[in-house]
Amino acid sequence: MLFAKHDKLVMIGDSITDCGRKRPYGEGRNDAYGSGYVSAVNALLQSTYPELMVRIVNMGISGNTVRDLQARWDTDVLDLKPDWVSIMIGINDVWRQFDQPQITESHVYMEEYRETLDALVAVTKPQVKGIILLTPFYIEPNPEDAMRGKMDEYGQVVKETAARHDAVLVDVQAALAPLLAHRYPASLAWDRVHPDLTGHMAIARAFLDGVGFAWSGSSR
């Protein structure tokens, strides 16, 4: 597994990461990590690798785009001095183009998305052990759907950024595909964006697979 003893992992993103986490820092007891994939990742790491004492901090904020991450990157990531950083961003960058088509100042188009994400990864990489990039996703099986197609394009930017910077890539859209082969999208997410616990667990499993998690742990 990639994480070593006492490693600190900051997980940042939008509402999918936030999920009602504690403020100002999403860590601690009970529901401090929120009710989504971050909480699942934390619980599985602590229960399967208790000897590592990995410290997770959830810094997701609902509604964020990559532009918002850039504005708070120093205080909410670099100042926390993490060993690892996980980033899942892009859903709102795409969604605002569809649910607020006239409010163009809220749109984050492809070039800005690509340049900003690349800059955040580039400035962070020398200061951490590694970076984990998760693709944005849309809970829709039809790749010809307009928003799903656009989300896939932004997901491709994440894949290219991960390859360019030797980051760990987690393809969330691919992780959700088996569910979408059997489940109607609205049964996983009424708005096809905010998944239920089943969807969040699929994201958590993909994340843990990406970092080399083994159910048997590392020392037993």
Contact 27, 39 (CB under 8 A): no
Active site residue 194: yes
Contact 59, 25 (CB under 8 A): yes
Active site residue 165: no
Of 155, 163, 167, 90, the closest CA to residue 124 belongs to 167
Catalytic residue among 31, 74, 166, 191: 191
Q: Is the dihedral of CA 62, 109, 136, 81 positive or negative?
A: negative
CA dihedral 147, 150, 152, 154 (to 10 degrees): -130
Backbone angles phi, psi at 156, to 5 degrees: -65, -35
Active site residue 15: yes
Q: Which residues are catalytic?
A: 15, 191, 194
